Chains A and B, each alone.
Chain A
Amino acid sequence: MVVSMDFLRPASLAEALELKAANPDAVPIAGGTDVMVELNFDKRRPAALLDLGRVPELATWRAENGRVRLGATVPYTRIVDELGDVLPGLAMAARTVGSPQIRNRAGVGGNLGSASPAGDAHPPLLATGADVEVASTRGTRTVPIGEFFLGPKRSALAADELVTAVLVPVAAGPQQFAKVGTRNAMVIAVCSFGLALDTTRRTVGTGIGSAGPVPLRAAAAEDFAAEVLPWDEPAANTLTDDTAKEFGELVAAAARPIDDVRGSAAYRRHALAVLARRTLRWAWQDVSGR
């Protein structure tokens, strides 16, 4: 049976929003690295595809008011090449996504659209306190990243809305990202962790991936580290083993992992404690090296 499908090709953001409002069932397609897998395997037969690949407003980034406004379709390859200095955590995460071919096409808008708990962009966005900018013909609103994910593959996006950008604060200190998987390339994270230190405000941000129904922050770990890190004496040896260990345990305690084919809940908790401890050490070394 041949099912008909429309292919909608807006040339501007205004046109894209109008088409989305008129066709709320249309599935946006950016890099296609999630959407095409579903189509190729007959898992999805949408009434229409809405190609975002020709919407220039979504394909650029710029710095504004201490933040980077990163368009939804800027591919990971450009994030790695162009934003390593200002958004180091997100650039590190982008470098671990899939393969060069995947990074050449896929971007943050699609990662958010899929809203997988394993999406690699999510931990650094949580750790930096980013906002998601979404738009429809009704207007534009920003959703704090912590309120964007509602459940596995469910987000705060309404049927007529598109993600237009993420607004990510420019780094004010060292950032790290680490991910556990079976090989270096092409792995969905068993679990992942993003860390952002703000040495001016003396705060610590965290993001946990693949260890809960949604990407999570570890608020207790953030408060603990902000409190006990020896901000006045930033030398590598001023971060004690006890502090690093306690931080790791608080991160693990914030996770809500499940057993699945990629790993058990217990393993995920253990691995997260290790990742959190290590990334805190690396980041603190960077503070002292500055």
Chain B
Amino acid sequence: MRVTIEVNGERRTADDVWPGESLLYVLRERLGLPGAKNACEQGECGSCTVYLDDTPVCACLVAAGQAEGRSVRTVEGLAGGDGLDPVQEAFVATGAVQCGFCTPGLIVAAHELVHRDPGATDAEIREALAGNLCRCTGYEKILDAVRLAAAKKAGERA
């Protein structure tokens, strides 16, 4: 079947999509967007997190046909023309990236939190990132990154 999705602001079409195929597969294998990662395919790790109509979801658990006509934003769509998104910058600045496999999903989850609630407490940050696993960092630097990005966002709004 054919699936048409607005991906990172652009209308994209994929053909010969098998109806049981995931949005993650379509993004990575058919639309050339390998940012969202495939690690568990069962919703446990969050490395495939993307925005579906402004809501973070596991792309591995969305059937491609369910995304028909809707808008998807992946990590590739966060950086603007003038460089990295502030959340991405914060991950670099705090050393929150080691192997990097979990990073795209964490960036999307953190991006949503920072925009929704730049005043989030540590407990709220942990809760917001509870669906994203990282095997390298021990999470402390990731928390530093989110605090940094949130503080910057809060400063902008003040």
Q: Which of A98-106, A173-181, A252-260 contacts B (4 or more CB under 8 A)?
A: A98-106
Whether the Cβ atoms of B130 and A49 lie closer than 8 Å is no
Binary contact track B87-129/A, C-beta < 8 Å → 1, others 0: 0000000000000000000000100000000000000000110
With an 8 A cutoff between CB atoms, is B143 at the interface?
no
Cβ–Cβ < 8 Å partners of B42 in chain A: 37, 40-41
**A100 in contact with B18 (CB, 8 Å):** no
In the assembled complex, which residues on chain B have CB atoms less than 8 Å from the CB atom of A32?
Answer: 61-63, 66
| In the complex, chain B residues whose CB is within 8 Å of the CB of A7 | 1, 19, 63, 65
Is the pair A99, B131 in contact by a Cβ cutoff of 8 Å? yes
Kindly state whether residue A219 has any CB partner on chain B within 8 Å.
no
**Does B29 interact with chain A (Cβ within 8 Å)?**
no
- Asked if B20 and A102 make an inter-chain contact with CB atoms under 8 angstroms apart, the answer reads no
Residue A232 at the chain B interface, CB threshold 8 Å: no
Q: Compute how far the CA of A40 lies from the CA of B43 in the bound complex, rounded to whole angstroms.
A: 11
Closest beta carbon of chain A to B122's beta carbon, Å: 14
Q: What's the nearest-Cβ distance from chain A to residue B41, in Å?
A: 4
- Chain A residues with Cβ below 8 Å from B132 are 99
Closest to A36 in B: B61
A-contact 0/1 string along B77-93, CB 8 Å cutoff: 00000000000000000
Closest to B50 in A: A101
B35 interface residue per 8 A CB criterion: no
Interface string of A162-189 (1 = CB under 8 A from B): 0000000000000000000000111000
For the side of the interface on B, what is the size category? 20 to 34
CA distance A185 to B19 in the complex (A): 31
Contact indicator B130/A5 (Cβ below 8 Å): no
Closest residue of chain A to B49 (Cβ to Cβ) is: A101
The reply to whether the CB of A6 lies closer than 8 angstroms to some CB of chain B is yes
Interface residue ranges of A19-63 to B (CB < 8 Å): 29, 31-33, 35-37, 39-41, 45-46, 48-49, 51, 53
State in angstroms the CA–CA spacing of A46 and B42 once bound together: 18
Task: Tell me if B19 and A102 are in contact (CB < 8 A).
Answer: no
With A99-B131, A100-B130, A101-B109 already in contact, the answer to whether A51 and B41 are too (CB < 8 A) is no
Complex contact A101–B57 (CB within 8 A): yes
Q: How many residues of A contact B (CB 8 A)?
A: 32
The CA of A28 and the CA of B143, in the complex, are separated in Å by 38
Chain B residues near A77 (CB, 8 Å)?
55
How distant is the Cα of A48 from the Cα of B20 in the complex, in angstroms?
Answer: 9
Closest to B1 in A: A7
Q: CA separation between A46 and B18, bound complex, in Å?
A: 12
- Chain A residues within 8 Å of B1, by CB: 7
A9 at the interface (CB under 8 A from B): yes
Q: How far is the CA of A33 from the CA of B48 in the complex (A)?
A: 14
- Please tell me if the beta carbons of A36 and B131 are within 8 angstroms of each other in the complex: no
| Distance (whole angstroms) from the CB of B20 to the closest CB of chain A | 4
B residues within 8 A CB of A185?
127, 130-131
Partner of A37, one of B43, B49, B57, B109: B43
**Taking the complex as formed, is A261 at the interface, i.e. its CB lies under 8 A from any CB of chain B?**
no
A31–B19 Cα gap in the complex (Å)?
16
Docked-complex contact B56 and A186, CB < 8 angstroms: no
CB pair B46 A101 closer than 8 Å: yes
CA distance A261 to B44 in the complex (A): 18
Interface residues of A in 50-83 (CB under 8 A from B): 51, 53, 77
Q: Which residues in chain A, 86-106, are within 8 Å of chain B measured between CB atoms?
A: 98-102, 104-105
A228 CB within 8 Å of chain B: no
Q: Which 7 A-B pairs have the closest CB atoms?
A: A99-B131, A185-B130, A7-B19, A40-B41, A7-B65, A36-B61, A5-B19
A-B contact list, 30 entries, CB within 8 Å: A5-B18, A6-B19, A29-B63, A31-B61, A36-B43, A37-B43, A39-B22, A41-B42, A45-B20, A49-B19, A49-B65, A51-B66, A53-B66, A77-B55, A98-B43, A99-B46, A99-B130, A99-B131, A100-B56, A100-B127, A100-B130, A100-B131, A101-B56, A101-B109, A102-B61, A104-B55, A104-B56, A105-B61, A105-B62, A184-B130
